[in-house]
Each structure stands twice: as C-alpha cells, then as structure tokens.
Amino acid sequence: MSPTGDHDRAASARAGFRAALPYAAVGLVLSMSFGILARDSGFSAEATIVMSAIVFAGSAQFAAVSILASGGTATAAVAAAALMNSRFLPMGIALGPSLPGRAPWRAAQGQAVVDASWAMANRGDGTFDRWFLFGSTAPQYVTWIVGTVVGALGGDLFSDPSRFGLDAIYPTFFLALMLAEVKDRTTLAVAVVGGLVALSLVPVAPAGLPVLAASLVALWGLRRAGRAA
C-alpha cells in the first residue's frame, strides 16, 4: 500500500471520528440510562456491561430489558431485539460491495455498522467509505461502554434516575427514533396504528407481545408503500 493510500485512510478515519463526536456524546447519556435501568430491572453489573459490549444497539437493548423487567419471557425479549435490529440486514447488503475480502472478513468489518456511521459513510453514489465508517463508530462504541459502566456501577448516586431526568431518556429515545422515520403519510399511519395496537394490548396481553404485535404493523406499511410505488 502506498504512503498516499495510507494517508487517505487515516484522514478518512479521523474525519469520521470527528463527525461522530456529537453522536458519541448522546450515546454516553443513553448508555448511562441503560445501565441504570438494567440494574433496576435485576441485571447484574457484569451482565449489563457485557450486553452493551456485545450487542451495542440501543433500541434492541432497551427493548429486551424492558420486556424482561415487565415479566416477559427471554424468547419475547430476543424476538423484540431482533425486530429492532432487522434494519441492519438491508444496510449490510448495501454496504457489502464496498468492503474488500472474503465473506468472513466483510462480515467482521460490517460489525462497525451503526445507524449514524452508516449514513455518514454513504458517498451518495451507492458506495461507502469504510474507513470513515470505522472512524465514526469507534468513539460511539467507547462512550457506549463507558456510559454503561457508569450507569451499572453508579450505585446510590443513580439509585433514583428521576433525580437527573434519566428516566425520561428511554421514552424520549424511542420517540426520537419514530419521528426521524415519519417522512410521509404511510410512515405516519404505521406509527399511529402501531402505537394504538400496543396500547390496546398492554392491559390484556403477556409482557412483550404488545411490542411484537406493534412491530408487525410495519409489514402492512411496507406492503402499502410497495403498492404506492
């Protein structure tokens, strides 16, 4: 590899690192909230930290913990987390051609995909800058782990999350995710119907089922969008 090529890679990674710092700061607060909620839900500090290190997916982690905390089964928790993370399948398919090497090596590189990094690494022509992707994911991963550790080991300092407003981060986080996706009437309809389905099932259905049922509304939305196209 030429010195110029190495320089371009390093420059791209540094640019990605700088671009991701705001997202990393937000992730620090979110993961701190996750650490607190997981401990309050009965998780050990070790299990909480390991989950963040391995899963590294905010929406999936919050969903799984909330279902288990409300009495849901592990199967429901895993299914909800899988649905939350199903968006990474098409994202990975789009990214794949921009990654070199055999399938196992491309899969390993694909572990760096998170929402913000994937979007920022998109060159706009169907290709992705993988070094920008790596650089932008690095600080987000570090702050996600650091925040989880602080939340999980905070002890009495964070025994009452409402003192710091951290209890509001969880619903606000999902509301922000939803608002970011509401771009037309179809997605708005999916959001409203999904919310109504969940609300109607919460009083009568086992924990976890309302989340899964509401997620299935997206299939209706996808079919509707396909017809419109």
Q: For 174-204, write each residue's pLDDT tens digit.
A: 676 677 667 778 888 888 888 898 889 888 8
Per-residue pLDDT, 158: 59
Per-residue pLDDT, 173: 59
As a whole number of angstroms, the distance between CA 152 and CA 37 comes to 8
Per-residue pLDDT, 33: 85
As a whole number of angstroms, the distance between CA 199 and CA 192 comes to 11
Per-residue pLDDT, 26: 86
Per-residue pLDDT, 207: 61
- The residues facing 128 across adjacent strands are 122
Where is average pLDDT lowest: 2-11, 64-73, 202-211? 2-11
Instruction: Name the residue among 51, 49, 73, 47 with its Cα closest to residue 61.
Output: 51
Over the stretch 151-160, which tens digit does the pLDDT of each residue have?
999 855 655 6
Work out the average pLDDT over 99-105: 92
Instruction: Please identify which residue in the block is written with the tokens 């794949």.
Output: 96
Over the stretch 46-83, which tens digit does the pLDDT of each residue have?
999 999 999 998 888 988 888 888 888 888 888 888 87
pLDDT at 5 over 80: no
Q: Indicate the average pLDDT of the chain.
A: 83
